[in-house]
Amino acid sequence: MNLEDKTSALEPDKTSSTESVSPPKLASFFQEQPLQAMEVAPQPMRRWTRRDLLFFGMGAIAAVAAGGSLLPQTTLKRLGIIHGNQNWPKKEVSESSPAHR
């Protein structure tokens, strides 16, 4: 695994740097690593892309739902997400007029 390779490749540098810190090693530590190109089978690639997009969509829906539940009722009414005549969960309050702006 490349990520593990990266970290394992860095470890000897760290230990050696305690003894002598040479500028080239320090520079290479800060130097951007090249993007790793690779060949991947199209079938699993498509499957994982679909799965990631699905997760992303579910996350977006969850964020909207969580945001909607946290926003105050007056804000939601002003945005038109809920209407003024909806009084859930307080059923007994019924005669309130729509307060649009």
Considering only CA atoms, which of 3, 28, 33, 31 is closest in space to residue 16? 28
Query: Applying CB under 8 A, which of residues 66, 81, 85, 86 lies at the interface with another protein?
Result: 66
C-beta closer to another protein: residue 80 or 94: 80
Q: Which residue in 23, 67, 80, 89 binds another protein (CB under 8 A)?
A: 67
Footprint of another protein on 6-65 (CB under 8 A):
6, 30-42, 44-45, 48-49, 51-53, 55-56, 59, 63
Chain mean position to CA 48:
17
Nearer to another protein, 19 or 100 (CB): 100
Least CB distance from residue 65 to another protein, whole Å?
Answer: 11
Sign of the Cα torsion 62, 46, 4, 6 reads negative
Whether 81 and 67 have beta carbons less than 8 Å apart is answered as no
